[in-house]
A and B are shown apart, each in its own frame.
Chain A
């Protein structure tokens, strides 16, 4: 709601003509917000259809990581408790590969600001939240593509689901939920930065250590004690451990006493919720602040 944030100078405060019009009901505004979000989701999807190379961050990139770790590093990594490294790897990839679209979200938002199209959106009678909701919804769709690519790559290198379809869907659902929540961090980054290059570089610089200091690729047991604490509490470790448990894949984190490693599904839900609670309102705020 936009009221009374700035008091107009009193001397100009005098009765006006017949306008303004009646405010719309809450329900109608919500309907419009959904409609506007869908239009902007369609916009992003139409862009991808015209420029499929923008999907590289959820296709080529995870594929590259799968191959690198399966065949280059994997042979040197031992799993406490034993098991196939290839099977271990895919749980980590579901965490890292899906959330890996977030730096791209930041880049796309900065580019929109630069192109001036955000100004166009702001001058339209559309929902303000729709710009961010449309963007993140489209990103969620690309993350679904990412999940399919990772699953296909996994099946190709010998990863299998040893549980039922319900558990498998729960695992992918958790990874997507976390990926969606993480996207909002990317939105905030995009709203803070001013150049596409900065978004690209900073996105990479922040994202790599965040995902590598976790159990996504390497069991945390071999890390120095202080780093292990960080890694065991890293949300990416929770997603990876949750996926491994639900897929019935080797999960050395089960031997770790840190709370998130003992309850990885619940930890993933909490982390996702926390990301949304922090970054969603922050993103809305940053977006509104762009006006001044």
Chain B
């Protein structure tokens, strides 16, 4: 018998006044999968997470978490999920430890269990020393880690991470990434929304690009990149190498014209995305006696994919200026 998907959404629609946040969203994440929900501000990412986490009622469509309907069986859904929102949902006046114990107790752990688990998570997320301090004294990175710890305290099978690194400095972001990867290896199903293409690329096994409340593309990061077209190959010639011969050799593999730059020492061309193409090219150049100092192949980035799919630049750069905590 086929396993129940961890997360299923069918034709979800949600409008706020005149704004259509979700416009027939479909999603499916198998148990243990990591789906990156990628989209610009206002694409409907946060609304999707809030519907799946039983915080919002969809206008139409259906969603289930581990087979339990988010509307009719919300209590069952809440028993199996953890949610980390765009801004840390913590009690600022309480200590980090008190926050975790509180959420643990509300997640139906016994008192002893809640305390033990709080200590364990504080250790694991490098917050052991800060555990006795009020949360309002925490840095942004610490708050996010504590928030994530709070959503993990009840050992959820499915975890929603809504822009877990928005507004964090690069170091804190790297720490969050490590933690998220650990969770994924532990078998937790993850749904991660992000505006950062790099983040989706690094963490997610599947990516759904969403725009205007619908999924516009879905697949593994590599599959999506393949959609954006060919790889880009750059060849650096050794001094004294015959540029004309090199152009001829490269043209044989290229899918388009060869561009010459850096005073005739650098050639660039689009090549088909297939393994072994560099080996073939190096052999051909070697056979023709053309000296080469470097050869690089760049897969299109998710930025390129994003551009191809939405007709807009990737949101990565804008994201920096977005105020943290602003709902999409």
**A interface list, Cβ under 8 A from B:** 2-3, 6, 8-9, 12, 16-21, 23, 32, 35-36, 39-40, 42-43, 46-47, 50-51, 115-117, 119-126, 130, 291-292
Contact = CB atoms under 8 A, between A and B. Distances in A.
B103 A20 contact: no
B278 interface: no
Given A119-B89, A120-B89, A125-B79, A292 B56 contact: yes
Given A123-B55, A124-B78, A291-B56, A47 B93 contact: yes
Contact of B10 (A12, A43, A50, A122): A12
A23 B73 CA distance: 9
A19 B4 contact: yes
B106 interface: yes
B62 A17 contact: no
7 contacts: A6-B57, A9-B61, A47-B94, A50-B94, A117-B89, A117-B90, A126-B108
Interface residues of B, number: 47
Given A8-B71, A19-B67, A119-B85, 15 more contacts: A2-B72, A16-B67, A18-B4, A19-B73, A21-B68, A39-B102, A39-B105, A40-B102, A42-B102, A43-B98, A43-B102, A115-B90, A119-B55, A123-B53, A123-B81
A23 B55 CA distance: 20
B62 A20 contact: no
Contacts of A8: 62, 69, 71-72
Contacts of B87: 116
Contacts of B68: 19-21
B142 to A, nearest CB: 16
A40 B99 CA distance: 11
Nearest to A116: B89
B92 A115 contact: yes
A18 B66 CA distance: 10
A115 B11 CA distance: 31
Contact of A117 (B73, B78, B91): B91
Contacts of A21: 68, 76, 79
A20 B78 contact: no
Contacts of B69: 8, 16, 20
A46 B98 contact: yes
A130 B103 CA distance: 13
A39 B106 contact: yes
A122 B76 contact: no
Given A116-B89, A117-B90, A125-B108, A50 B72 contact: no
Interface in B116-170: 134, 150-151, 154
Contacts of B11: 9, 12
B76 A20 contact: yes
A51 B93 contact: yes
A163 B75 CA distance: 52
A143 B69 CA distance: 42
Given A43-B91, A46-B98, A116 B85 contact: yes
Interface string B176-214: 000000000000000000000000000000000000000
A129 B62 CA distance: 26
B83 interface: yes
Contacts of B10: 12
Contacts of A124: 78, 103, 106-107, 154
Nearest to A16: B67
B60 interface: yes
B292 interface: no
B154 to A, nearest CB: 7
A228 B191 CA distance: 63
B64 interface: yes
B284 interface: no
Nearest to A5: B71
A116 B49 CA distance: 15
Contacts of A120: 83, 85, 89-90, 103, 150-151
B249 to A, nearest CB: 57
B88 interface: yes
A47 B55 contact: no
Contacts of A39: 102, 105-106
Nearest to A118: B89
Report which residue of B91, B93, B106 has the largest number of chain A beta carbons within 10 angstroms of its beta carbon. B106
Contacts of A115: 89-92
A15 B180 CA distance: 34
B234 interface: no
A120 B89 CA distance: 6
Contacts of B88: 116
10 closest Cβ pairs, A-B complex = A19-B67, A116-B89, A120-B89, A123-B83, A20-B73, A125-B79, A126-B106, A125-B78, A17-B4, A17-B67
A283 to B, nearest CB: 19
B260 interface: no
Nearest to A119: B89
A19 B70 CA distance: 12
Contacts of B76: 19-21
B318 to A, nearest CB: 23
A292 B64 contact: no
A2 B74 CA distance: 8
